[in-house]
A and B are shown apart, each in its own frame.
Chain A
Amino acid sequence: MRDEAGPQPSMGLRGHSAFQPSAVAEKALIISHEAVNGEYRHMRLACNAVAAGAAPGQFFQLLCPAPPGEAPFLRRPMSVYGADPATGTVEFLYKVTGAGTRGLAMLGVGDQLDILGPLGQGFTLDPAWRHIVAVGRGAGLATLAPLARAARAQGIGVTAILSARRPELVVSEAQFRAQGAEVLAVTESDGTSSPAYVERQLRALTAAGRCDAFFTCGSARLLRLQQDLAREFGLPGQVALEQQMACGLGICFCCVRDFQVEGRTLHKRVCWDGPVFDLLEAVA
């Protein structure tokens, strides 16, 4: 468990006036919301400064409206696709898969969505790195997208290997290209998405000195592949993981997963200790 300091309690005469939250629940205004392909939708919201300061890999808890005949009760975790303090916006990219995302899909520009965040521990970048590799699949590509900008801001080059079933489902490609990243899209329909093919690419990047760290999200097979390579070459890495959540604040312990830490298997909370974890501690 992390030794979490939390905010200082208020000591002023007016009691709670000094409290500064680090995550806020807010009814944010939807300023754009559109389908990007047959499966994914992109939502952009105007939000408070705390939310707009979300780091890559962090997430929000969304209070989704109820679609007809369904009643999602809990909030739904959603990783940050983009956040910009300059414009006061936060973005999500999601695939409609259940009651929560069906509810989200009903919302239009000008509607409000109750968002709580930013939450959890995001990706961290070591300024000593010169080039990193981001390998993702499916919805995991949305989680990796904000890394491109953060890496560029620190002068770190990025190669992104983006995996999906079909070329039109490769999301986040534009985000990576816009930040000068090298992009390789691999798909089932092209026959390029097998772990063996990805492994050849990763070995070539490692041999060329273009992989100081692995970043991954969205595929257990690709996670295992990168864990093997990280061990073989002594490289660090980070993985963003998913789990069913209730509170999102580390309270309820419903989102625990197994991790291997110093030879022991232990539980960590995805919402609080993660969702970004050390690549080698994750149990794929």
Chain B
Amino acid sequence: MTDMTVRIGGLTLASPVMPASGTFAEGLARVMDLDRLGALVTKTITRELRDGNPLPRVAEVPGGMLNAIGIPSKGVPCFLRDSLPFYQRWRPPLVVSISAPTAEGFAALAAEISVPGVTAIEANISCPNIEEDGKAFAMQAGSAAAVMRRLRAATSLPLWAKLTPNTGDMAAVALACEDEGADALVVANTILAMSIDLQTFKPRLGNIMGGLSGPAVKPIVLRQVYQCARAVRIPVIGCGGISTALDAAEYMLAGATAVQVGTATFLQPEAMTQVIDGLAQFCAARGIGHVAELTGALKREDTHEADLAWAAPAP
């Protein structure tokens, strides 16, 4: 039997598979056994009460979907009163995703939800920073470092930084987060995108732009996981278009210690348990005793960085 445990910072997870924030809520407990997951990851909560974006909030595109939900939030008291006791009925550790418009807001929220029953905090620093003209914190190493520094001072819980793929230098952002005390990186949030209805000439999302997820993003985010995992020593959790165990294995070979499954759950609510079972079989079929052996096991010829020059635009 394959040993499916993985270590993320100080935590040992029973399995490397967990939900991606935003694609997991109480309703999934009706369809699948949450006790099988490596962790439970909440939708992003904020201190402000938020209604969310205008409709339509999702649009289909080939191989995926766009969403601009807008983080509807009922605030912290509602989370502590309703959601926290609900999730405590299951065994996997609870990871709470948080967001705020300022570094100080992040820190205050982290402190407020550092309570028994919360095992780790996933800081969704892919959201707009009002102090930086609405640019996401994780678009630049400087603003990522600033918010992680405040967060680290505000909580002793393990801190995961959820990075945005919408940046030119992810490795630098990853390093900045590590330097400021992040215990793990989640790579990555959705890719900023849009779509236009050719019947009406209107954007297909009420918010005009939104995040692309689903199988279409996998090769891009896989590359980003590879780049981040090479840059840092803390664990990287891969998240982008994973719907099968083979997708998950690919992410682990690229350097991920664990994976998050998101959009696939909307198509097959048991996608996560299928990935867990499939990963165990994938390892067993290859004589791999411990799933963690996959992490970073990519075999590559030693390539001089200059050899990648063909991938850059001609000067």
User: Residues of A at under 8 Å CB distance from B?
Assistant: 1, 3-4, 6-10, 15-16, 19, 21-25, 63, 71-75, 116, 244, 246-254, 256, 267, 272
Nearest Cβ distance between residue A17 and chain B, in whole angstroms?
9
Return chain A residues, CB-CB under 8 Å to B270: 25
Give the docked Cα–Cα distance between A21 and B33 (Å).
8
Return chain A residues, CB-CB under 8 Å to B267: 63, 73-75
Nearest Cβ distance between residue A178 and chain B, in whole angstroms?
32
In the complex, the chain A residue whose C-beta lies closest to that of B23 is: A251
**Cross-chain contact B26 with A254 (CB below 8 angstroms):** no
Other-chain residue from B35, B51, B60 in contact with A16 (beta carbon distance below 8 A): B35
**Cross-chain contact A252 with B35 (CB below 8 angstroms):** no
Other-chain residue from B58, B91, B265 in contact with A9 (beta carbon distance below 8 A): B91
Jot down 29 A-B pairs with beta carbons below 8 A, ordered by A.
A6-B29, A6-B86, A9-B91, A10-B33, A15-B33, A15-B36, A21-B30, A22-B31, A23-B30, A24-B31, A25-B31, A71-B60, A71-B62, A71-B63, A73-B61, A73-B63, A73-B64, A74-B60, A74-B65, A244-B55, A244-B56, A246-B58, A249-B27, A249-B28, A252-B22, A253-B69, A254-B69, A256-B72, A267-B72
**Cross-chain contact A249 with B30 (CB below 8 angstroms):** yes
User: Residues of B at under 8 Å CB distance from A?
Assistant: 22-36, 43, 51-52, 55-58, 60-65, 67, 69, 72, 74, 82, 86, 89-91, 214, 265-270
Interface of A is mostly: loop
**Cross-chain contact A250 with B25 (CB below 8 angstroms):** yes
In the complex, the chain A residue whose C-beta lies closest to that of B57 is: A254
**Cross-chain contact B69 with A21 (CB below 8 angstroms):** no
Give the docked Cα–Cα distance between A250 and B67 (Å).
15
Other-chain residue from A8, A23, A247 in contact with B265 (beta carbon distance below 8 A): A247
**Cross-chain contact A73 with B30 (CB below 8 angstroms):** no
**Cross-chain contact B266 with A246 (CB below 8 angstroms):** yes
Considering residues A6, A9, A24, A253, which has the most beta carbons from chain B within 10 angstroms of its beta carbon?
A253
Nearest Cβ distance between residue A21 and chain B, in whole angstroms?
5
Considering residues B58, B74, B86, which has the most beta carbons from chain A within 10 angstroms of its beta carbon?
B58
**Cross-chain contact A25 with B268 (CB below 8 angstroms):** yes
Contact of A10 with B24 at beta-carbon distance under 8 Å, contacts A73-B61, A253-B69, A256-B52 already known: no
Contact of A16 with B25 at beta-carbon distance under 8 Å, contacts A73-B60, A252-B67, A267-B52 already known: no
In the complex, the chain B residue whose C-beta lies closest to that of A249 is: B27
Other-chain residue from B27, B29, B36, B269 in contact with A25 (beta carbon distance below 8 A): B269
Return chain B residues, CB-CB under 8 Å to A22: 30-31
Give the docked Cα–Cα distance between A22 and B32 (Å).
9
Nearest Cβ distance between residue B7 and chain A, in whole angstroms?
21
